[in-house]
């Protein structure tokens, strides 16, 4: 269950796109998350155990998006949502965007190797670069980089830590057998 804390701010007229607002939420599966948005969409999800000190509440223009993101993440954590439908505006290079777009196509409950993502974007020799792009993903969970695993089937790297990556994969119904991840037999 997500718990939200906020207070109202007076609206700001004609906000520039780089205006950022945030909302800290607590989830049972992932712990604390700081959700950040600009006027175009969500920009960051930060793993953060405690709410930031003196964090202002989101401005009224940002509240609907941040609250909907919190609602969808809560539903995902509870196993009631498989696909997010939120506007995402991550900052990154053209290559990172290409990788993140490919990662968005990895279905719930499945995994893909870094090499397979590299092949999918037409750069089969770029598996390490795909790993770096995943590491730079500012929207973990929403851009499901936790579904990308090593070619051997082992967990490798995750911004929130391998324990959270494992929790996310378990939530999606994957099972760990002999140290390797695989889809559960139905």
C-alpha radius of gyration, the chain, whole number: 17
CA distance 138 to 184: 29
Q: Which of 27, 36, 31, 24 is nearest to 2 (CA)?
A: 27
CA distance 108 to 160: 19
Q: Is residue 2 annotated as a catalytic residue, yes or no?
A: no
Catalytic residue among 36, 77, 112, 145: 145
20 in Cβ contact with 12 (< 8 Å): no
**Which residues does the annotation mark as catalytic?**
145
């Amino acid at each position: 269950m997500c718990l939200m804390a906020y207070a109202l701010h007076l609206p700001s007229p004609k906000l520039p796109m780089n205006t950022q607002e945030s909302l800290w939420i607590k989830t049972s599966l992932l712990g604390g998350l700081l959700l950040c948005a600009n006027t175009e969409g969500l920009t960051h999800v930060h793993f953060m155990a405690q709410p930031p000190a003196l964090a202002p509440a989101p401005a009224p223009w940002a509240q609907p998006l941040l609250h909907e993101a919190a609602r969808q993440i809560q539903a995902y954590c509870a196993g009631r949502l498989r696909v997010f439908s939120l506007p995402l505006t991550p900052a990154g290079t053209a290559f990172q965007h290409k990788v993140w777009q490919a990662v968005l196509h990895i279905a719930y409950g499945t995994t893909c190797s870094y090499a397979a993502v590299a092949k999918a974007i037409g750069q089969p020799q770029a598996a390490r670069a795909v790993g770096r792009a995943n590491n730079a993903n500012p929207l973990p969970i929403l851009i499901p980089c936790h579904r990308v695993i090593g070619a051997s089937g082992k967990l490798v790297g995750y911004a929130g830590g391998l324990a959270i990556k494992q929790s996310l994969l378990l939530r999606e119904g994957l099972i760990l057998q002999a140290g390797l991840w695989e889809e559960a037999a139905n």
